[in-house]
Amino acid sequence: MLPFVISLLPAVNPGHARNITVYHVNEHKFGAIPLNMNTADVIGDLFFDLLEVFIAPLACANQTGPPKPGPNPCANPEAVGADLMVNKLTLEIDERYSGYAACNVGINGSDPFGHPCKSDTYCCFCHVNGSMKEDAPCNATLGYENVYEQFGQWITPGGCKPSPFQPHPRPSDCYAAAAFTKLNEVNHGSWYSSLDLGYCGSPGSACTWRVVSVDKIVQRSCHATVFGAAVQKNGDPGCLLGCGSQATNVSSPCYVDCFYKAALGPESGTVGGAIAGMSLDELQAAWRLPFSPENEGPADDASCELDHALRSYADRHADRVAKGLHKSRSEYGRACAKSLLAANEAFISGGAAAEALGRHARAAADFCATAIEERNWDTPAWQEANLLALCYQLAALLAEVACDAQAVTQPSAPAEAQSQAEADRGAEAGPTASVRIGAAAIGIFNLAVAAACNERSAPAWLASVSSLLRRAEAVVTRLRPRQLHLGAETQELAPWHAWRIPSALPTINLPEFSERRRVLEVDACSLSCASFFCEHLQRGRPVLIRGHLQAQQWGALDYFSDLRSLYVDAGGRLVPVAGFKYFRLYALDQTPLLHATTLRAKNTNSFGTSPVRLEAPLPPEHASVAQAEYIEGLLAPGDMLFLPKSMWHYVRSLTTSVSVNFWF
């Protein structure tokens, strides 16, 4: 039946069909398909951004509108709406255009031109020859407008001047007027109107346009960050320095003022001021940066690309998950639900709320962890809440990395000092960011694998996990190459080397060993089964068996020393130790000194835990830990540690590592 159904769908007339790439900005809730919306080519949307969207913080600071009738950026949902997205699509269109239709979101029952329009709904009104003053009936054809021809009348020689609309122009008015001068007859910009009357999405309708692909969706806050940083590089560094703490806030009036000075010239915001700044080609290139393909230069910021599956799932199900937590018997259910909803709200708000997103996500994840430590999760909502919290944590970390990268690009120091500062910053902050992102990604991966193993009830959120993990991988791969330590040397490596687990012990961040506390070490070749059984297994004595896996000639040692094998090959495997780990072992009689919480009797899923950070300076409340006796050691690739039952253990990875536990 499916081929028959498809055959009934209308198609664009092949004799007049062609593909075009278009962009449009709108609130996320309206979706990427531009039904009853306006779209544009790069120049057209760049012009709209300069005229209506980027200018909004500066224009709205004094409540000044644009220098023409139409949507006020201070009220236009496409300029100041919640959760704005910039969408890139490929459309197949019938190029027999009609006049342009102005499509806007209804506010208080009308559109910006006074036409009746249901609030929070897109409405389109067609005009005679593009005139905003005379309405005309709409039809199914794709509407078209040459932006330069429509707005060329606003180009005034000699810079910004008073007009009937703005008798006393403010800087935002002059910047908007200066934006017109970037257009010309050749690079004119195109606006399109795609009405539902011509959408090829339902049988029986006229068909003048259809969506070939949704190529990319970028959060508007992220687009502004990348676009703004590229433009600010062309401006006076002193301008942003004058913004103080707002020097990286793309929604602050000071930042926006510096942006337009860099884009259009330092005098373009004054009456009669000269218009200069960047060329139209340069502005186009900067505006397109957030849409650059993966692995094509610094514009490939993986945190910019919206994880649409996760966002859509969270929009639909966060409330349901929170209600499920309210039904839990755990005392932490309601608190977790509150934190989860707060994290979701911050996630929807975008980049500006990254700090709040991370804070609320960590709280929700902590509640999930505490709940399972005290008793089994008593409702499926806990598992879903845990994954959402971890995903929100990862999103916050990716946003943090993006913000750090943006901060480095700000002209806060001379070029040579800035270059050295950037290098120092990368050496200091990079590994920490990599490790934190990696830890969050591993938590998500583990939970997703556990859920996927149950094929009958694999949750819908699994669809969002792979793209989120790919984003994390892309960021970590960019952070790691300059920071990989191979023996005593630090080398510049190709990105794929980030997969390789170091085969030599690093020279930094090593623990201080005490010979009297070293665990007993035995070479694998000198240890017989009988001696192991009698001396260690029966007596419950720990032992580190050096080179055990090499002695057994386990080929997986080489296989798993390169994580690309895990990435390329599928299937479950037993994984020997790869990489290096430091460990400490505490006997059971040391429990009173460790501030341990033993919960095995109440919960089969949890083990004894302690909040103490053993290698960090001990706070007064944990001072007793310093008196606890322990033994310690270092695991290298191929080693095996026998850990007797009822021993506390602490492990820290010294490098990227892979290991497996055998319980018997």
At 578 the pLDDT is: 64
DSSP state letter for 658: B
At 303 the pLDDT is: 44
At 63 the pLDDT is: 59
Q: Please give the model's pTM, rounded to 2 decimal places.
A: 0.56
At 439 the pLDDT is: 76
Q: Which residues contact 54 (CB under 8 A, 6 or more apart)?
A: 224, 227, 228, 256, 259, 260
Q: Residue 93 pairs with which residues in a beta bridge?
A: 18, 209
Give Dmax (Cα) for the chain. Answer: 99
Q: How far apart are CA 507 and CA 186, in angstroms?
A: 60
Compute the CA torsion angle 606, 607, 613, 618 (nearest 10 deg). Answer: 120
Q: Which residues contact 609 (CB under 8 A, 6 or more apart)?
A: 373, 596, 597, 599
Q: Tokens for 595, please give them.
A: 């501030």
Residues lower than pLDDT 50 in the chain: 1-8, 64-68, 294-303, 305-306, 406-431, 455, 481-499, 555-576, 600-601, 604-606
CB neighbour class for 391 (10 Å; exposed up to 12, middle 13-18, buried from 19): buried
Coil, strand or helix at 104: strand
Read off the amino acid at residue 561: S
Q: Residue 544 pairs with which residues in a beta bridge?
A: 521, 641
Q: How far apart are CA 106 and CA 194, in angstroms?
A: 17
At 501 the pLDDT is: 57
Q: Where are the domains of the chain?
A: 17-223, 306-404+433-478, 521-587+629-653
At 209 the pLDDT is: 93
In 68-168, alpha helices (H): 77-80, 147-151
